[in-house]
């Protein structure tokens, strides 16, 4: 395959991408990667100030992005935001359902509100955005949806009951959506990161009352002997968003340095 062919398959010019949780971590890196390959990016995040900064940085580097403050747990806000994205960009071709939170507790320790928060942000948010964006994708001839799962969506983990449940739900939601919407030329896939150096991972150390440095070292204990970087995950999302993966749907791509091997 020539470089020209590869460039063509990765060319996202004319595409519109929506990234939830796009103001930091994996979402921020992915928004930048999609913009670098020509996509117009709508950054959705509950943190409006950080979202605006992320969009400004992409625009300053020659890309095109706009931020939209959105609480993905709110049906009303999701519907209004998708309407605003359509008015701004005309449609949606790529959706990265990435917003998520974690609470490092067992089911005994969890408060009901904590369980609801993890489920609502990580799983309900993906449902709500997909509900309103899939009709736009179908009207435009198809598209690609990428959901953020986790290694802990495929196996259990300690003191993370709600997170494990939500991410396992995300894995099977991906498969169900791929079956339902393939006829509309909409591909749906799931990327499952291992421990990645993000604010979310560092917050886990605080929740567990562990030394952050020691926690990060232990999190890097895998065959490739390092933590993931947000760009590692962004590259996987880029593949699933692009024409490099035109016959890939309903798949689960583990990106974890061999941690589940």
127: annotated active-site residue: no
By the 10 Å C-beta count (0-12 exposed, 13-18 middle, 19+ buried), 116 is classed as middle
Pick the closest to residue 41 from 8, 25, 65, 62 (CA basis).
Answer: 65
3-state secondary structure of 250: coil
The dihedral over CA atoms of 57, 62, 63, 69, expressed in degrees to the nearest 10, equals: 30
Residue located via tokens 């890309």: 63
In Å, what is the CA distance from 91 to each residue of 3, 98, 226? Answer: 29, 19, 39
- List 163, 190, 193, 228, catalytic entry: 163
The dihedral over CA atoms of 238, 243, 246, 250, expressed in degrees to the nearest 10, equals: 10
Give CA–CA dist 247/194, Å, rounded. 25
Give CA–CA dist 115/184, Å, rounded. 34
Active site residues: 163
């Amino acid at each position: 395959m020539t470089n020209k062919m590869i460039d063509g398959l990765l060319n996202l010019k004319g595409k519109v991408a929506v990234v939830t949780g796009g103001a930091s971590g994996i979402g921020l890196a992915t928004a930048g990667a999609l913009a670098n390959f020509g996509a117009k990016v709508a950054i959705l995040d509950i943190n409006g100030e950080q979202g605006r900064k992320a969009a400004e940085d992409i625009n300053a580097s020659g890309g095109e992005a706009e931020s939209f403050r959105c609480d993905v747990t709110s049906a009303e806000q999701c519907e209004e935001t998708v309407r605003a994205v359509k008015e701004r960009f005309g449609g949606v071709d790529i959706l990265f359902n990435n917003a998520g939170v974690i609470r490092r507790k067992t089911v005994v320790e969890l408060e009901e509100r904590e369980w609801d928060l993890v489920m609502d942000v990580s799983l309900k948010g993906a449902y709500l955005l997909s509900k309103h964006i899939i009709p736009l994708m179908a009207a435009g001839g198809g598209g690609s949806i990428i959901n953020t799962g986790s290694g802990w969506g495929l196996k259990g983990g300690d003191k993370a009951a709600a997170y494990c449940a939500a991410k396992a739900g995300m894995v099977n939601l991906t498969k169900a959506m791929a079956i339902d919407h393939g006829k509309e030329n909409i591909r749906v896939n799931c990327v499952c990161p291992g421990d990645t150096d993000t604010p979310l991972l560092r917050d886990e150390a605080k929740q567990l009352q562990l030394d952050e440095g020691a926690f990060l070292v232990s999190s890097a204990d895998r065959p490739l002997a390092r933590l993931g970087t947000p760009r590692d995950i962004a590259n996987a999302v880029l593949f699933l968003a692009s024409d490099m993966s035109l016959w890939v749907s309903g798949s689960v791509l583990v990106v974890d340095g061999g941690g589940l091997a």
